[in-house]
Amino acid sequence: MSERYDQYDSWAWLYDETIGPVYGREQMEVLERVLLPLLEPGDHLFDLCCGTGQLIQGLLEARYQVTGLDGSEEMLARARMNAPGAKYVLEDARTYRAPGHFDAAFSTSASLNHVPVIDDLRQVFENVCVSLRVGGVFLFDLNHHGQMTKWWREKPMEGTLTKDWAWMVTPKYEEYRRKGSFLVTTFRRVKKGGLLSPLKALLYRTLARPRFIGLRLKLIAKLKMLEPDWEHREMEFPVVGHDLLKVRETLFSVGFSEVEVQALDGSDAVDADHSAYFICRKGGVS
């Protein structure tokens, strides 16, 4: 079992400049609604699979202590620049534990879908539970089977196009195996000089607007032909559609005394359009 996630190093620059800030704003709203009202300034938070650290700086400014863990060295390098006041740990979530050290923990953007099997997920949950103080809360979200079956159809879903780089994500999911992946396609200008033609510059600038996402994704799919001198990479990241009931049972088995599952809007009805959010509390005697 690898103790590192080196394959995410090559994606760090892209995540930091594009997806990370967007996801960070969305997930901060969830933290502010669900987790932070349960805490006090000065509490120590654990950001599990922190990526490039978009959530951490805001938490530091709100006077929380934060430790971020990730298995990618490049992701953490970016996180240190984005939120230099936090502590960082380069390790696999399946092996790291800090007994009784944190008041709360969270993992966002469906990071735990990357844990390959339920036994490994059990180890992650046990490590988090051990690392929390009694009464501590663990918040995380998962992309689930119904959601992935509906939306992960091997069609490009999101992407950005600029005059210097482009990216696109194509998710797929095998329903009967509960296994999937998302393909990240990137393009990056590597030659200095060589300005775009005025026509291309206008086209790329126009298609960058949110309403043109369909046309933008079609163009990115053909960008290898349109920009043969740009660096082109494809990175595929495996994920698992964990069964929500098994996840819930596993959380109880490692020592969480309360486990609540809800949708993004806080309702109890988890549907196929949104991730499932787990809110767990560690029991015991302080």
Residue ranges per domain, the chain?
6-144+242-282, 148-239
CATH fold label, 6-144+242-282: Rossmann fold (3.40.50)
Beta partners for 98? none
> 132-142 and 102-107 as β-strands: parallel, antiparallel, unpaired?
parallel
From first to last of its 286 residues, the chain has per-residue pLDDT tens of 344 466 778 778 888 888 778 788 889 999 999 999 999 999 999 999 999 999 999 999 999 999 999 999 999 999 999 999 999 999 999 999 999 999 999 999 999 999 999 999 999 999 999 999 999 999 999 999 999 999 999 999 999 998 888 999 999 999 999 999 999 999 988 865 556 788 888 999 999 999 999 999 999 999 999 999 899 999 999 999 999 999 999 999 999 999 999 988 888 889 898 899 999 999 976 5
pLDDT in tens, 133-146: 999 999 999 999 99
The structure's pTM equals 0.91
